[in-house]
């Protein structure tokens, strides 16, 4: 039984990220800022330039 979000083209990773963002947005203000700060991603993924 395929989940609705899988049919819409989301991966489980994307689905859980969206759920986690919703939970963070629902927190009380003092916990909200800490949670949002703890969760931001600061990695950059690059493809190596293939020498053609």
Partner 1 sequence: MGLASGQVRNMATLKDITLRLKSIKNIQKITKSMKMVAASKYARAEKQLKPARVYGAGALALYEKADIKAPEDKTAKHVIIGVTSDRGLCGAIHSNVAKAIKSEIANLTSAGKEVMVINVGDKLRGLLYRTHGEHIMLNCKEVGRKPPSFGDASLIATELLNSGYEFDQGSVIFNRFRSVISYRTEHKPVFSADTVANSENMTVYDDIDADVLRNYQEFALVNIVYLALRESSTSEQSARMTSMDNASKNASEIIDKLTLTFNRTRQAVITKELIEIISGAAAL
Q: Which residues contact partner 1 by CB under 8 A?
A: 1-3, 6, 11-14, 16-17, 38-48
User: Nearer Cβ to partner 1, position 29 or 48?
Assistant: 48
User: Nearer Cβ to partner 1, position 12 or 31?
Assistant: 12
User: Nearer Cβ to partner 1, position 3 or 27?
Assistant: 3
Residue that the structure tokens 């989940």 belong to:
3
CB 35 within 8 A of CB 27: yes
Q: CB 1 → partner 1: shortest distance, Å?
A: 7
Taking Cα atoms as reference points, which of 19, 37, 47, 50 lies closest to residue 11?
19
């Amino acid at each position: 039984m395929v989940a609705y979000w899988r049919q819409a083209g989301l991966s489980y990773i994307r689905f859980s990220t969206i759920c986690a963002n919703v939970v963070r947005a629902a927190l009380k203000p003092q916990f909200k800022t800490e949670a949002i700060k703890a969760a931001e991603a600061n990695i950059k993924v690059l493809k190596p330039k293939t020498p053609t």
